[in-house]
Structure 1
Amino acid sequence: MIVALMGYMGSGKSTIGKALATLLNYKFLDLDDYIAAQENASIPELFNKRGELYFRKKETEYLNEILNSNENCVLALGGGTPCYGRNLELLLDNEQVNLFYLKLSIPLLTNRLFKERSQRPLISHIQSEDDLMEFIGKHLFERTQYYNQAEHVVNTDHKTQQDILEELLMILI
């Protein structure tokens, strides 16, 4: 089984994914980290040197590789992964995949992401919290149609990590 977590950047996919993998005794994979390791370059480097189209092509290639591995894992997707190409279809059509959307509100996303925006290529240029909130709002509006197609939508606003993990486990078990 593959437990795939999707949601906007900063929604907790990697943090929750690592903890869930430990509880399930599954391997944890962060798709962005996997891509970076395979390409021997960080995600910002790939965006800067090769461009977003190259990155998205590789993202689909490596997603397919993971989905076809027949290995139990918790997979944290990149924020844009389900929004490009056939990625969402690949996830939804795979019987081994349980797809979750970790949904976090715009104000909480803004609060989390403003502090770490220098490590995030899509928002590294944004200087104020108001501008970031506006960017996230517009971006999330475009992506929500993809995220909401997940089999399970988990609202994570004001929930502890333990609360979220318990909710995920109740669905999985």
Structure 2
Amino acid sequence: MIVVLIGYMASGKSTIGIILAKKLGYNFIDLDEYIEEKEKLKVKDIFTLKGEIYFRKKEAQYLNEILNEENRIVLSLGGGTPCYGNNLDHILNQTGVISIYLKAQIHTLVNRLKNEKSKRPLLAELENGDAVTEYIGKHLFERSHFYNQANITISTDNKAQNEIVEELVLALF
């Protein structure tokens, strides 16, 4: 089985994914880190040097590579991954793949992201907290259609990491 974690940036995909993988005895793959390893560049540098279109093509290529070659993994996707191309269809129609939407409210995401703007290519140019809140709200609205198609939805608001992982295990089995 492959467990695919989707959701907006800072929803907990990587943090929860690592804990969940350990609990299940699975390997953990963060798609952004996988892309960085394959491309020999940080995601923010890919965006800067080669552009978002190049990044999204590579993202789809490596997502399919993982879905077709791996098993017994927890895969954390970038926030935009399910929203581009046929990525979501590949996830939803792949045998042995369970998708989970880690859902967080706007205020939770803003609080988690306020000190990480420089690490997040899509937020780096925003001037202040209001701009970040507006951007996240708009983006989340646009992406929720994709996220809500996941097999399972788990809220990550105001919960301890271990509580979220226990909910995931119960939902999976």
Normalised by the shorter chain, which TM-score bucket? Answer: over 0.9
What residue number does 1:108 align with? 108
Q: Give the alignment of 1:61-140 within 5 angstroms.
A: 61-140=61-140
Report Cα offsets for 1:84-105 as digits up to 9, x if no partner.
0000000000121110000000
Report what 1:57 is aligned to: 57
SS of structure 1 residue aligned to 2:136: helix
CA distance in 2: counterparts of 1:54 and 1:70, whole angstroms: 24
Cα shift readout 1:2-51 (whole Å, capped 9, x = no counterpart): 00000000000000000000001100000000000000000000000000
Distance (Å, rounded) in 2 between the aligned partners of 1:168 and 1:58: 29
Query: How far apart are the structure 2 equivalents of 1:95 and 1:137?
Result: 33
- Distance, in Å, in 2 between the alignment partners of 1:34 and 1:171 is 27
Cα deviation for residue 70 of structure 1 reads 3.6
SS in structure 1 at match of 2:114:
helix
5+ residue gaps in structure 2?
A: none
2: distance between equivalents of 1:120 and 1:70?
Answer: 28
Rounded to whole Å, the distance in 1 between the matches of 2:99 and 2:10 is: 18
Query: Partner residue of 1:143?
Result: 143
The Cα offsets for residues 128-150 of structure 1, whole Å up to 9 and x where unpaired, read as 11110000000111000000000
Residue equivalent to 2:24: 24
Q: Describe the SS at the equivalent of 2:64.
A: helix
Q: Please list the CA deviations of residues 57-92 of structure 1 after superposition, one character each: whole Å capped at 9, or x if unmatched.
A: 000000000000142100000000000000000000
Task: Specify the alignment match of 1:40 in structure 2.
Answer: 40
Q: Distance in 1 between matches of 2:71 and 2:34?
A: 15
Moved more, 68-77 or 80-89: 68-77
Relative to the length of structure 1, the TM-score reads 0.99
| Distance (Å, rounded) in 1 between the aligned partners of 2:136 and 2:171 | 29
Instruction: Give the alignment's TM-score, normalised by structure 2.
Output: 0.99
Identity of aligned residues (%): 53
The offset of 1:156, in angstroms, is: 1.1
SS in 2 for 1:51: helix
Give SS of 1:126's match: coil
Question: Following TM superposition, where does structure 1 have runs of at least 4 consecutive aligned residues deviating by more than 4 angstroms?
Answer: none
Q: 1:84, 1:139 → 2: CA distance?
A: 13
Query: What residue in structure 2 maps to residue 14 of structure 1?
Result: 14
Secondary structure of the 2:10 match is coil
Q: Secondary structure at the match of 1:101?
A: strand
Q: Which runs of 5+ in 1 are unaligned?
A: none
Letter in 2 for 1:84: Y
Partner secondary structure for residue 74 of structure 1: strand
Aligned partner letter, 2:80 = G
- Compute the displacement of 1:127 (Å): 2.3
